[in-house]
Chain A
């Protein structure tokens, strides 16, 4: 019942979002407050809000869905259903958030909300992620993007992460981003995908050293995908999605102390922090920071 209520609220949000798009106004700053005033942000303190963010691999859209008999969106689940079940079984019911709905007819039911945009490149996600977070605030983002870029450049992913940082800075909210080194093409030997993931790993390592609250998961080789796990040259089968869900699940189960990651930002503005390091047991944070002109008060 509660869930149905949430779905009803979110469908209202979709309508509002469409209106905003039509008006083509920059609501970047006022959107969060507007939605809060309207009481439409589903703030559920009991559940961790996770935003599955990406392209067709997040939404679950295969090449065959555009030829002949299309699967209805209500049965497309991708990794999301598997992950939702795994988290629930482990005692962590979560709220998947996003403006899109896919997989709502699957039994057993899971939360079908997501921000999977088939065909989109990383730059398109970057242009919209601030708005997505404003409408559906998330504690954690699961980001799998870059397949449609088909380029070794990771500038678009960098833009996405900059937008998330901007959202955090302007709203005072903290968002943990788990970024995937993306899955390979079916034949597992694509040079462009290898180059993209190499550059992505370098980018993420650099951002982590600079204090960004990012975790890296390896879908590229770490998910154990084989050519049998692909429905076409790009998109996984259900068995492939199960493997992807396993990787997300393991990352979510690793020790991660939000309070500790937030601590440096409670003392100094983000721009002054040079590096942050949290130990493996998530018990201690060490960071190096420039002292701002007005000093640091503990």
Chain B
């Protein structure tokens, strides 16, 4: 059963179309992340699910009910805002119970609900405070408490972690994930942070320019991005794009060739892939973590390793790994190395590229081949 169905949803502000036919379906209990750069329409989409923005065309169903013109309060949803939107003049307790008070829930029941949520989020000591007296993380908890207390069909999160500092963000991310496991409610989560999307979601909808570019499980989105936008957006450092031409290698197997420093490099494709006739232009997409220092052990341990020589232009150690920038002809290519085998500045390194994870894109349509 699906608890949220969005069909051909469109939204225009005047002549500007910000959503151009969105289709998303969330199964009950699923955690959907809407991810994309700012201005892609993800927050507008969320506001439309919440009923805060009107629908220009298409339909939104929560459960089996068409909610296009249902008021926000009658949609059986709860929302956590980026700014938390806690009522500044009310105490934490009043903030949490305001919704129930508006709906005329009797006091004993309200107290019971507050007790349950406060225990769940460990905010009992804060109940008498005002939002102004809370830290960022505490406000975040209270905002979640206000959403949780409702026990709605659908949870909506609008970039809830982007106002927190880096460490707290990671902690709260884990906490949201745990919470979702415990509560098991269908959740739609908007973020511009692809790591958040990857870690939290059961499925990710990558949005760009008012359209869903890809809607799939995180690992699929990461490994087989539908197009170059998704490939470039998901993952950090970003995927390397190398313009290349289809050809055959010395053994007659399909391969790609491109201009590398000191000659043409020919990289044999993974067995069983035949992306088209030789001579076709393609874009080779290689993630930084699939570029290694070449060795015979490496060749032996992975199925399809291709060799390229490249001068090292820059090295950035981060501790856990070392980022190397190598020159491939006119391109700069990023690789993530184990610090033990990190390249050195000025060295010409022999790289092994794991072609089993490489992606090929059409240079015109920019879609995955």
Partners in one complex: no
